[in-house]
Structure 1
């Protein structure tokens, strides 16, 4: 039996207590080890995984009968087509694509200092998105692998990184 988008969302919500428990266990372990910012690091790690994996899982679900597996490499063609044909579906598609790597964009710079740069976050999200699109096409999931999806996924990560930017650098502890 194949799982549906609704099933993935339900499982994601049901897994929230497990994710919270993992955060608490990681933070407690890090606190005992004397690591800096144990809660911040733990929330960031679990949040990146819990906020990204379900979206990627949904992308890799088989598509419907209305589309055949194909590649669209011309930027914005798919977006313009879907907006013109089905505006409501277009909004869902655009918002969904913006959210795929948003958790990564918002939380990865909190955990990994090397990613504390919006261009780096966008580049890594674009690479991850391109990899997912290639996998989607390679597995012949009856979906469209589109450069527009890569652009929107990377843009979503960039916007989320921009929103979370003020929290990237850990607060300095005064030496009083």
Structure 2
């Protein structure tokens, strides 16, 4: 169909600069974090749970090392189902990019099970205490969900909807931290920053879902 060709060409052209930007950002992230990541490498690569999967550095290291395997799974899934590759990439990306950060968010603190749950409901009060790394980490928790969800699901192809999705998912995580008594503070600022991270990621993936939504609407309006 001619329209499909136009859409694919336009999407590819508009998405290329963002692909370059994302690749550069990942490269910078790896360079910045290379020292703390390599500190966990001996424990992780020797198969030890303690010192690897119960530390932030270890979880991030294993997540980065597993990216080629995740890409292979997405490719195999697309081949098996004979579905568009972007669909499988979005599905695998949502899971693979979110689960490790959920693991970190739900990792018990030293007083887990004994310290009562703590709640902070005053907006913007905890941002200073988070610091740059804390804010960056909170922005990334649902970034993969925000990036890939509107690509996979047409109903979520909207930044406000992704913002609401990120806020809802974050609220569930904060509630779990409180109910399970994980020795963490359930903060409204975490919800706000998590939701903003998902929305910003959705803006980055907009070239992939904006034109697909336009095609869907056009096809629905045809007699």
- TM superposition score normalised by structure 2: 0.66
- Mapped contact 1:68–1:144 kept (Cα < 8 A): no
| Aligned mates of 1:76, 1:69 — CA distance in 2 | 20
Q: Is the 8 A contact 2:149 2:156 kept in 1?
A: yes
Displacement of 1:68 after TM fit? 6.8
- The corresponding residue for 1:96 is 137
Partner of 2:100: 54
Structure 2 spans left out of the alignment, 5+ residues:
1-49, 216-223
- How is 1:1-176 mapped onto 2 (pairs within 5 angstroms)? 1=50, 3-31=54-82, 35=83, 38-64=84-110, 69-80=117-128, 82=129, 90-168=131-209, 169-170=211-212
8 Å Cα contact 1:103-1:160 kept in structure 2:
yes
SS in 2 for 1:145: strand
Which residues of structure 1 form unaligned runs of 5+?
A: 83-88
TM-score by length of 1: 0.83
Shift of 1:104: 0.8
Query: Take 2:81 and 2:58, find their aligned partners in 1: how far apart are those partners?
Result: 34
C-alpha deviation, 1:15, in angstroms: 2.2
| CA distance, structure 1, for counterparts of residue 191 and residue 150 of structure 2 | 20
Measured against aligned partners, the alpha-carbon deviations of 1:74-106 in whole angstroms (never above 9, x if no partner) come to 1111114x1xxxxxx600011110111111111
Once superposed, what is the RMSD of the aligned Cα atoms? 1.9
Q: Which consecutive segments of 4 or more residues in structure 1 shift more than 6 A? A: none
Aligned partner of residue 162 in structure 1, secondary structure: helix
Whichever of the two has the greater Rg, that structure is 2
**How far apart in 1 are the matches of 2:65 and 2:202?**
26
User: Higher helix fraction: Structure 1 or Structure 2?
Assistant: 2
